[in-house]
Each structure stands twice: as structure tokens, then as C-alpha cells.
Amino acid sequence: MDAHDWEFLNKQMRGPSLPRSGGTIVLTVVATFLAGITVGGILFAHRSEPTRTASNNVSDAISFPIGPPPR
């Protein structure tokens, strides 16, 4: 390999010499994340009735049948 080949190889191995700003990269990652959350929330939004998890009504609490569970 001659000097021209070595220079070309070194240029290829260095890669692109773009100025990188850490703040710009972080801002891009955060913006992409928030955009994904927003789009996902819009596309996969669903409406459902609220799930009832507890009751203060005694009759509801003891309204289960007494005996073996149904088969």
C-alpha cells in the first residue's frame, strides 16, 4: 500500500467528523420518547368502566353464597 492508500484508510477509519453536542442528543432522545408515548396513547387508548375494588356497603361484602364453590 502506498501513502495515498494509507491516507484513504485512515480517513475511512476515523468516520464522519460531525460536531456532537451532548445536549442536542439528550433533547432528541427525550423528544422521541415523549412522541412515542403520545402516539401510543392516542392509537391504543381505550375506555372502560372503573373497576370496583372495595365496598363500604356491608350487604355487598357478605352477599356471596355460603357453601362450596360452584363447579
pLDDT tens per residue across all 71 residues of the chain: 889 899 988 888 887 666 667 788 889 999 999 999 999 988 887 777 776 666 666 666 566 666 666 66
Q: Which amino acid is at 25?
A: I
What does the pLDDT read at residue 13?
84
What does the pLDDT read at residue 37?
93
Q: How far is CA 9 from the centre of its chain?
A: 40
What does the pLDDT read at residue 32?
97
Are 30 and 24 in contact by the 8 Å Cβ rule? The answer is no
